[in-house]
Homo-oligomer: A and B are copies of this chain.
């Protein structure tokens, strides 16, 4: 038997992964969730047919969305993670002793349960005593918060599905309000390569750069993402991702990483010309 999972990156391009076994599959109130075992990417989970993460490449995403802001902000005490029900982001955050509270807000409780069952190396992040998991809508949760967080990580994946509200102008405004006066927000910025993703990418940068005084974009290579290339947004009230980056302090922490490094931190902000030009157009 040959069983292939197809992740459609566009209508005309797909990444196919050979499957050894399906481990889980169900329709929740919010989405279709499936878990598969594969040789090349280990276990992976998909929502509505799109891969959310795999055992083999989640380290890239989770390290890059956490260590970049953490190596810039000098004193993070309270963090909000919107989405992130798998626990990978929380896991990376728990490496930092100075963090006192981590609020994880996940809409779909089935997603949390499935990750607890099938991805213990991610879900362990939710077991840290500093973590509180809220089973709630991220946007609604956010509306009640003012001047509360040092760091907000928007870990929501799908700008067109049930998480669509997380990519509106209101969302960026609410994040700004929920952050302390020197807060940082990082978010998934999508993949800029295929034509059909370009407008989403432009719109996100437009909204963020009009809501925050500092708004930069950084990159990573994530094989299961469309075209293998993913962008992150760094929106900040005070700290600049490169000028306020404290490499020495970060190195002294001795956190073990596989993707992130003090060199890569800087290189991640040096973008291809076509991406730079696209983003600059939206800053006007």
- What residues make up the interface of A, taking CB atoms closer than 8 Å to B? 6, 10-18, 38-41, 57, 60, 193-194, 219, 221, 223, 227-229, 257-261, 263-264, 266-274, 276
Contacts and interface: CB of A to CB of B under 8 A. Distances in A.
Contact of A221 (B10, B57, B229, B259): B229
Nearest to A63: B273
Q: Which one of A13, A15, A193, A219 has the highest number of Cβ atoms from chain B below 10 Å of its Cβ? A: A13
A16 B41 CA distance: 17
B6 A12 contact: no
Contact of A257 (B228, B264, B267, B273): B273
B261 A272 contact: yes
The oligomer's copy count stands at 2
B273 A270 contact: no
Contact of A270 (B38, B194, B257, B266): B266
Contacts of A258: 272-274
Given A15-B13, A18-B12, A263 B271 contact: yes
Contacts of A219: 221
Contacts of A264: 270-273
A267 B108 CA distance: 38
A16 B16 contact: yes
Closest 4 CB pairs of A and B: A228-B228, A267-B270, A267-B267, A223-B227
Most buried by B among A12, A258, A259: A12
Contacts of A276: 261, 263
A223 B193 contact: yes
20 contacts: A6-B16, A10-B40, A11-B18, A12-B38, A13-B15, A13-B18, A13-B41, A15-B15, A193-B221, A193-B223, A219-B221, A221-B221, A223-B227, A223-B228, A259-B272, A259-B273, A259-B274, A264-B271, A267-B269, A267-B271
A189 to B, nearest CB: 14
Contacts of A267: 266-271
Contacts of A13: 15-18, 40-41
A13 B268 CA distance: 26
Nearest to A259: B272
A259 B276 CA distance: 9
Given A221-B227, A263-B276, 7 more contacts: A13-B15, A258-B272, A260-B272, A261-B270, A263-B271, A267-B267, A267-B269
Contacts of A15: 13-16
Nearest to A60: B272
